[in-house]
Amino acid sequence: MPFSAIGPSSLFFELLNQFELFNHSYICHIKIIINHLNKLIMNAKKKVVVLISYGLDDERASVAWSIANGGIKSGLDVSIFLVSSGVDWVRKGAADNVHLNPKDPTMKQMIDAVVNNKCRIMVCPPCAEVRGYSVDNLIDEVELIGSGALHQLILEGAEVISL
Locate the domains of the chain by residue range: 3-43, 47-162
Write out the E strands in the chain: 47-52, 77-82, 120-123, 142-144, 159-162
CB 52 within 8 A of CB 82: yes
Which distant-in-sequence residues (6+ apart) come within 8 Å of 98 by Cβ? Answer: 56, 106, 107, 108
**Alpha carbon 82 to chain centroid, angstroms:** 13
47-162 homologous superfamily: DsrEFH-like (3.40.1260.10)
Over the Cα atoms of the chain, what is R_g? 22
pLDDT in tens, 117-150: 999 999 999 999 999 999 999 999 999 999 999 9
Question: What pTM was estimated for this model as a whole?
Answer: 0.75
